[in-house]
Amino acid sequence: MSGHDQQYGGDPGRSHVVAEKGSRPAVHGVVAQKDILKHREGRESQAADQHGVYEELATGFAPQRFGREVEKQETLEKIEDNALHITTSDGRLEAFSETPIRKTLAKFIDDTSAIDVDAIVSQLKYELYEGITANDIQRALIMVVRSMIERDPAYSKLACKLLLDRMYREVFGKNFDRENPTKAQAEVFARNIRAAVTRGDLDMRMAEFDLEKLGASLVLSNDTLFEYMGLEIMSSRYCMEDVETKKQLETPQMLWMRTAMGLALNEKPEDRERVVMEFYEVLSNFYYTPGGRTLFQAGAKKAQLSNCFLNVVPDALDGIFKSFSDNSQYLKWSGGTGTSWSKVRATGAHIKGTGVGSQGIVPFLKIANDVNLAINRSGKRRGAGCVYLETWHLDIEDFLELRKNTGDERRRTHDINTANWIPDLFMKRVRDGGEWTMFSPSDVPDLTEIYGAAFDKAYEEYEAKADRGEIKLWKRVPASDLWKKMLAMLFETGHPWITWKDPSNIRSPQDHVGVVHNSNLCTEITLNTSDDETAVCTIGSLNFAKFIVDGKFDHPLIERVTRTSIRMLDNVIDLNFYPTPDAERGNTRHRPVGLGVRGYHDALYALDINFDTPEAVEFASDSMEVMAYYTILASSVLAKERGTYSTYKGSKWDRGIFPQDTIELLAKERGEPIELEHSGKLDWTPVREHVKQHGMRNSNTTAIAPTASTANLVGCIPCVEPIYKNIYVKSNKEGDFVVVNKYLIEDLKKHNLWNLGML
């Protein structure tokens, strides 16, 4: 037996060998994730368990379960009699022994007090079968340890190390020397990058780097930063693999380096490798993580690196079907979509060309739903999109019911998200007990293009026209009734979401060149769209969990990482493959990026601040101001180096209006004061002067970035949210993962209170 097989690591490069006819395939199912792992010692307890199964069978329950239980008992007996055989990598049968399992666990366990090795080995025996391969034993061992994560965070680290070992063996080969990895890393990294370039998977420029030098610079110790769930997500979702064999081609550090290289391809040749190492450092240390599309595609021959695309559908049949075509391309290239349908005429509106009445937006939304369902985003995720409609649209009531589980299925869209695009005037009418009038856009075409006081004025004039009989197609209801229906549908179906038209436009830095018609499926983007401009979402996020140093929020570290992060995001705009001309046109004109936040609650734990306190609100205000300060400054510094974006002239930035200044603009448009403190604690004079002198590289710089996947990737709490529960199950395409509040467990351990009873 080889040393590889002795450790039951298997041979990841080989297909599984079935030793006996009728033996079961691979590891059967998911190991039970509850603390009923019984240390069954001796035949008497096993017989008692089996007797219970016989009783169950006699009463007519679960014959399949009975068969499985009998198989398990037979397997345990074989193990005890030293009669269970495993299949080695060269196809030979050898007797199973638990000694290599214990040696493997001992190699990866740092603190044995938290890990119950006997329980792991005992449960593993229930996952074995005659002829199981060494490779599948390793898989089963990882699954067993994974099932025990709820016992202690130490099990997550152990499962992570076992998975890392598997990844190393698959990428480096069975003889990889963990004690002296630098040479192997350099050789394999360079070989795999060059091979991917030769196959046409990666951009040819990726081979121009000093690959051996970059490979030797990989910091393998940073792999220990992962928790199990994050590493599993990275391994199955983001790392490159051989298309034919499905063999993994990247370790975590290789992925970070490939991402850094892919985002530095447009840097000056003399600076390129220095910039790559700067990018790699912030990625590898979990300071900053780009959006998932960037991790998927960085360095690729056609690298579509942005997360979402926003467009608006015109009131014309060819334009409607163009939107279907465009959105299918965005989905194909791994982007989510956000589409405004507010311009499309309502049910009953006259169509001059055919002389008939329109069927409204719902039949078209059914098609949009099916397009969304049909296209898998780059083979990694199901398609995802969101459709938006303004509250005054005559089809709004049908729109609210699109996600209901009852009614005519031909008028339901279960696979696309929906969102209301609400003007402030509607909420004033709700508050004041007023009525609300709904129109067809064909009668009020300018309402989609105006906002604030101008919208209020035009809307009231259209209401007067309706009252005079000059507009035939309209409907009026109490505003509060429509609002209640919105809330009822939101409670019942989770849709449509509530989003705000006027603040998005009034506070937009790009109010001089267009209108914000909608957001996206994660609602973090408020960018201009038009018939020939699609807005593009290029995002990443800072991990606040990493910026609490010695009990304080580290401003210099934030400044350094933010500067690097904004540079990466700006590079995406030039390196991106754009699925449509409209997307390229919109993104390159305005160059918007969005730097967001994750790990906010982690930071509060590190600072010992409760989430629901004034101190937490103060930290939110202070930390976001620091982030905004350095983000805006970083974009202005880039403008000094690279020039401003093309539509900078006339923007709010150019007029000296910063985001905090726009609150007063919103109050003025509403005609009401806004009780919100926005003076800040930092001296903004240097930033304002820098922008005045050098301008901005990017029209937008920050976003409330959705970070569910990337937060899981680096083991922090998503976005600015509180932790969901102290223990819960996270489900995604990689399976079910138990998530435990590690901060709670640390505190309980300090008081000697963490035990199975507490669990």
Strands 539-543, 594-598: pairing is parallel
Mind spelling out the 3-state secondary structure of 54-74? HHHHHCCCCHHHHHHHHHHHH
Rounded CA-CA distance 395/474 in Å is 10
CB 704, CB 537: distance < 8 Å: no
SS3 content of the chain, % helix, strand, coil (to 5): 50, 10, 40
Q: 734: closest CA among 132, 238, 20?
A: 238
26 phi and psi, to 5 degrees? Answer: 50, -160
Neighbours of 659 (CB within 10 A): 16
524 among known catalytic residues: yes
N-term to C-term CA, the chain: 41
| 719: three-class secondary structure by DSSP | coil
Catalytic residue chosen out of the listed positions 308, 522, 716, 719? 522
Mind spelling out the 3-state secondary structure of 408-423? CHHHCCCCCEEEEEEC
Rounded CA-CA distance 470/687 in Å is 53
Catalytic residue chosen out of the listed positions 150, 390, 401, 524? 524
Rounded CA-CA distance 710/499 in Å is 24
Rounded CA-CA distance 161/723 in Å is 25
| 112: three-class secondary structure by DSSP | helix
130 among known catalytic residues: no
Starting at the earlier edge strand, list the strands of the sheet with 539-543: 288-290, 539-543, 594-598
DSSP 234: I
Q: 206: closest CA among 264, 250, 248, 255?
A: 264
Q: 596: closest CA among 718, 419, 732, 730?
A: 718
CB 266, CB 201: distance < 8 Å: no
307 among known catalytic residues: no
Neighbours of 554 (CB within 10 A): 15
Burial 557-568 (b: 16+ CB within 10 A, else e): ebbbbbbbbbbb
Catalytic residue chosen out of the listed positions 192, 420, 520, 741? 520
Q: 136: closest CA among 265, 273, 32, 19?
A: 19
Q: How far is CA 256 from the centre of its chain?
A: 17
Rounded CA-CA distance 228/159 in Å is 6
Catalytic residues: 520, 522, 524
